[in-house]
Structure 1
């Protein structure tokens, strides 16, 4: 594909998460692309009915591309635990269903959800022979909604689930995810270190290489 046939430099990010937008923009900056959040274009979030990260990421990217008429990128990520057969997997963010409190803002609700998810994970792992787990990220980019050749990148970050939470940084399962190579949990890690080693960073590095090779960006 020639440079003149490559996608434009604006990509719609199929997410309304401002932190994810900032993180992915930094990670993909070497390609010269500019990410635009889908909500800034009035695009609603897509359904995520699938059982795998790749299928959900592809569904979100296609949805954003169809609604905007622009190339789009999406990720789907979560925690896979060996003793639980790979779960919580794509249900990681809502592993323990909770009722929404009308008084909660987005951050307060997320904090309650994280606490419930971590409590359920510890309960489900009680007595388990192994606590091996990994954070997983699938990152998918499409030139259009019907692109027959989506770019698909995948990142894994191996660790072990502790019995007690450690660290006040990060979010989600970070306080329980012990990374042996760093001697601490993801929640105890400096942000710049985490962003260099994480599953999303690894998937993003693959995506940069794919965008350069296939889309001839950067």
Structure 2
């Protein structure tokens, strides 16, 4: 059973990663672009912000919507940057500035105290126009690792160049896209989400 949905993101890197992950695990799905407004992410958890974005996209398009909220949590920083990962160095800062600030903050911290975790929450929102009563579901994925001392690698985005997954001696940015897709926090969240997507596809197709 095919399923069409809007991916509520204007982040081109994230959209491409989602398309690869979804295409591999649910080839019958049709991922539609989202060109609507970005809501204010005023939640205080990944789940709250993911639902804010998915609800906004579902309302704007009248279609099933997926949205994720993701970031990196650092042990010695008490879980920061967390939901502020994308704007850690300021609302107008890019990936390089965010990474550099985080490395500066950890400059005196040596292994094994540089533990960190990528976290991804994916929210699914089915509007009442598609399914009577509507429907919402939240899936989570975590990817444990250690922060490198300097960026390495040219793949990926965000904090990938300084994140060394547990059991590997390379950063996420040194992994090939298909290698990252097989184990990342986003992939793990989607594995949890997939059975729910298939149930929704069956209900919508009745």
Out of 28, 34, 52, the residue aligned to residue 30 of structure 2 is: 34
Aligned positions of 1:128-143 closer than 5 A = 128=109, 130-143=113-126
1:64-108, CA deviations, whole angstroms, 9 ceiling, x for partnerless residues? 111111111100111011111111111111100275xxxxxxxxx
How far, CA to CA, are the matches of 1:49 and 1:11 in structure 2?
24
Q: Quick one: higher RCO (CA 8 Å, sep 6+), 1 or 2? A: 1
Residues 101-180 of structure 1 mapped to structure 2, 5 A cutoff: 113-128=94-109, 130-144=113-127, 149-180=135-166
Conserved in 1, the CA contact under 8 Å of 2:86 and 2:98?
Answer: yes
Deviation of 1:117 (Å): 0.9
- Contact persistence 2:73–2:81 (CA under 8 A): yes
**Which has the higher mean CA deviation after the structures are superposed, 135-144 or 15-24?**
15-24
- Name stretches of at least 5 consecutive residues in structure 2 with no aligned partner: none
Asked whether the 8 Å contact 1:78–1:90 carries over to 2, the reply is yes
Give the length in aligned residue pairs. 197
Instruction: Give the TM-score of the pair, scaled to structure 2.
Output: 0.85
Contact 1:122 1:163 in 2 (8 A): yes
RMSD: 2.4
Task: Map 1:89-108; keep pairs closer than 5 Å.
Answer: 89-97=82-90
Q: Using the alignment, how far apart are the partners of 1:145 and 1:190 within structure 2?
A: 40
Change over 3 Å in CA distance of 1:55–1:145 after alignment to 2? farther
Label 1:136 to 1:98 Cα distance change in 2 as closer, same or farther (>3 A): closer
Q: What TM-score comes out, normalization by structure 1 length?
A: 0.81
* Structure 1: tracts of 5 or more residues without a match: 100-111
